[in-house]
Amino acid sequence: MSFLTIENLNAEVGPAPILRDVSLSVAAGEVRGLVGESGAGKSMIGKAVLGTLPSAIEISSGRIVLEGEDLQAMRPRDRRRVIGAKAALIPQDPLTALNPSRRVGPQITDRLVDILGWTRHDAQTRALELLDEVQIPEPERVMRAYPHELSGGMRQRILIASAFAAEPKLIIADEPTTALDVTVQKQILKLIKQMQARHGTALLFVTHDLGVVSKICQSLTVLYGGKVLEDTRIGDFFARPAHPYSAALLAATPKYTDPAASLTPVPEAVIDGVRAEIEAFDRMHGHV
């Protein structure tokens, strides 16, 4: 049974569509990649689920169902609480995602205490456990530190610990390694995978990097222009991509085995094909 289901989600900025009939689901414990170029709307899907869409963007139709609860049908206050308890975000940039004027500890424990009603002591114990789990040395000291006293890699580990704190059933990771040093990227990716496996959390992994997808995802959704082009198992995708755009994307990924090979861009003809598909969709839905 899928833990997160998005059905025919449409969102617009004014008259311009941002998401076009997006449907996807993440099963309990599944790792699903969400890939696309910048502007494809992949982060917007994560934001729509977590209720953090910019106010200019409006969801016009469709459903977001989190463990059987229709988020769109709820009052904002209830929706926030359900999301806070069941889902969590691993943000993109660890340098800006921790509040500079608050100590690290309370930024991990605040959700447990304020939203889920834990005692301070229990939340503290839990945070220390998690910091230990994400391999942070001297967790007590780190809890009392301010974000600026810690490195980017450390901060991303803290954000991962914080995301897992309430044992959410779904975690949305929004390009969690893009802002990091290449050497740190690998460790963080491995850590996310480890944590996900240990906690059995469903993971929606937003990225533009197919290399990363091949390492940690079981299934994959390919987006372009806010429209789902392909929704497939990871093995099938790399063996025989169904959509021409997917095939072109795969061909465009640099091969580490043959660095001398020149980079292949996605051919113009393929892009034109995808654009025609989107235009046809918009005509059908009266956006043109």
Partner 1 sequence: MTLIRRILLRLLTMAITLFGVAVIVFFVIRVVPGNPIAMMLPPGAGEEDIARLKALYGLDKTIPEQFVIWLSGVLQGDFGTSITTRQPVLALVLSRLPATLELSVVALVIAVAIGGTLALTGTRMRGTRSEGAIDVANGMALSVPDFLWGLVLILLFGVLWPVFHISGRVSPSLDLPFVTNFYLFESVLRLRFDIWADLVAHMFMPALALAIPLAAIIAQLLKQSLKETMHLDYVTLSRTKGYGENHVITREALPNAVLPTLTLIGVQFTFLIGGTVIIERLFSYEGLGNMAIDAVINRDLPLIQGIVILFALIFSVVNLVVDLTYAALNPRLRHG
CB of 79 to partner 1, least distance (A): 9
Of 45-53, 191-199, 219-227, 274-282, the segment contacting partner 1 by CB under 8 A is 45-53
Q: Which of 32, 67, 47, 29 is nearest to 230 (CA)?
A: 32
* Residues numbered 139-168 forming contacts with partner 1, rule: CB under 8 A: 146, 148, 159
Under the binding rule (CB under 8 A), the answer on residue 99 touching partner 1 is: yes
83 near partner 1, judged by CB under 8 A? yes
100's tokens: 């500079």
Provide the minimum distance between the beta carbon of 198 and partner 1 in the complex, in angstroms, as a whole number.
22
C-beta neighbour count of 81 within 10 angstroms: 14
263 Cβ neighbours under 8 A, 6+ residues apart:
252, 254
Nearer Cβ to partner 1, position 116 or 247?
Answer: 116
**Cα torsion angle, 160, 162, 168, 170, sign:** negative
**Residues, the chain, total?**
288
CA gap 65, 73 in Å, rounded: 10
Beta bridge partners, 172, equal 89, 204
Instruction: Give the Cα separation of 94 and 157 in Å (integer).
Output: 9
Minimum CB–partner distance for residue 115 and partner 1 (Å): 4
Asked if 87 is part of the footprint of partner 1 (rule: CB under 8 A), the reply reads yes
Is position 50 an interface residue for partner 1 (rule: CB under 8 A)? Answer: yes
Compute the least distance from the CB of residue 77 to partner 1, in Å.
7
| From candidates 40, 88, 128, 184, binder to partner 1 by CB under 8 A | 88
Which residue(s) pair with 9 in the sheet? 22
Contact between 61 and partner 1 by CB under 8 A: the answer reads no
CB of 239: closest distance to partner 1 in angstroms? 36
Q: Which stretch binds partner 1 (CB under 8 A): 4-12, 36-44, 103-111, 254-262?
A: 103-111
